[in-house]
């Protein structure tokens, strides 16, 4: 589902993002990416969704070589990936329904299809009863569940979440992780970037540890190392 071959990415002033990283994630896997601040986790997530480009190496997503993806092809790629980043916000003047519907409207879907898909994904995250509320009328954990619902509207085969539990207390964080597990059980490959030791140790899934842009550990049923 995700293949990186000898991928390197540096930022200005020789800041190392990733250095010669090779990684293969199979369809249906649930992989946590961990490591200290600045170790390259977000860089890895951004390369997978073509938000950044590598200067060396090759990246293949679902059989598609995106190493030199054209700008105009990025929306097509993004529709195949559910993306949740920490700074993703809901639109404050739109209801929960409208926030989720927006991604489908942009893609030119019919109103009938939009209603049915939005109802479906809001049910998955347990918020179908609150779809007429505005973001400031629901809790932080609920808002994050809406963000996840929005990322599910195109039924992605791959789900990439960068610190989706970052601003949440441990009960809400646990709920988000349960949701990611549910999405994974439906067959979607999940890549979870996280700092949360408790969650990683509880998941008992594959853990890839980054350090200064390098993979320093890749464990099958891993533990939080650093």
Ligand X SMILES: Nc1ncnc2c1ncn2[C@@H]1O[C@H](COP(=O)(O)OP(=O)(O)OP(=O)(O)O)[C@@H](O)[C@H]1O
| CA geometry: angle 2, 79, 40, nearest 5 deg | 45
In sign, the C-alpha dihedral spanning 149, 177, 53, 7 is: negative
Cβ closest to ligand X, residue 23 vs residue 100: 23
* Cβ atoms of 84 and 151 closer than 8 Å: yes
**Residue 145 structure tokens:** 């569940």
| Among residues 4, 7, 30, 40, the one that binds ligand X under rule CB under 6 A | 40
Q: Partners of 81 in the beta sheet?
A: 158
| Among residues 28, 38, 57, 141, the one that binds ligand X under rule CB under 6 A | 38
- Among ligand X, Mg ion, none, residue 37 binds (CB under 5-8 Å by kind): ligand X
| Among residues 2, 31, 32, 42, the one that binds ligand X under rule CB under 6 A | 42
Put residue 63 in one of left, alpha, beta given phi > 0 → left and psi -120 to 50 → alpha: left
Window of 34-42, 62-70, 172-180, 182-190 that interacts with ligand X by CB under 6 A? 34-42
- 11-50: contacts with Mg ion (CB under 5 A): 41-42
Q: What is the DSSP letter of 207?
A: E
Cβ closest to ligand X, residue 116 vs residue 167: 167
- 40-99: contacts with Mg ion (CB under 5 A): 41-42
Cβ closest to Mg ion, residue 95 vs residue 209: 209
Element (DSSP H or E) covering residue 41? helix 41-48
Q: List residues binding ligand X (CB under 6 A).
A: 11-12, 15, 17, 35, 37-43
């Amino acid at each position: 589902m995700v293949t990186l071959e000898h991928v390197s990415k540096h930022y200005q002033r020789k800041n190392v993002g990733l250095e010669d990283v090779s990684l293969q994630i199979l369809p249906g896997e649930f992989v946590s990416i961990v490591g200290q601040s600045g170790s390259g986790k977000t860089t890895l997530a951004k390369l997978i969704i073509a938000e950044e480009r590598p200067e060396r190496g090759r990246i293949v997503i679902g059989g598609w070589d995106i190493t030199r993806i054209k700008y105009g092809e990025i929306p097509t790629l993004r529709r195949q990936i559910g993306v949740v980043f920490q700074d993703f916000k809901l639109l404050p003047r739109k209801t929960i329904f409208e926030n989720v519907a927006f991604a489908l409207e942009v893609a030119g879907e019919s109103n009938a299809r939009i209603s049915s898909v939005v109802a479906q994904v809001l049910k998955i995250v347990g918020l179908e009863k609150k779809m007429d509320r505005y973001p400031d009328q629901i809790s932080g954990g609920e808002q994050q569940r809406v963000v996840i619902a929005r990322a599910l509207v195109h039924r992605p085969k791959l789900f990439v979440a960068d610190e989706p539990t970052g601003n949440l207390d441990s009960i809400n964080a646990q709920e988000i992780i349960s949701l990611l597990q549910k999405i994974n059980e439906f067959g979607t490959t999940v890549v979870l970037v996280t700092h949360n030791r408790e969650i990683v140790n509880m998941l008992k899934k594959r853990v890839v540890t980054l350090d200064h842009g390098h993979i320093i550990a890749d464990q099958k049923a891993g533990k939080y190392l650093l």
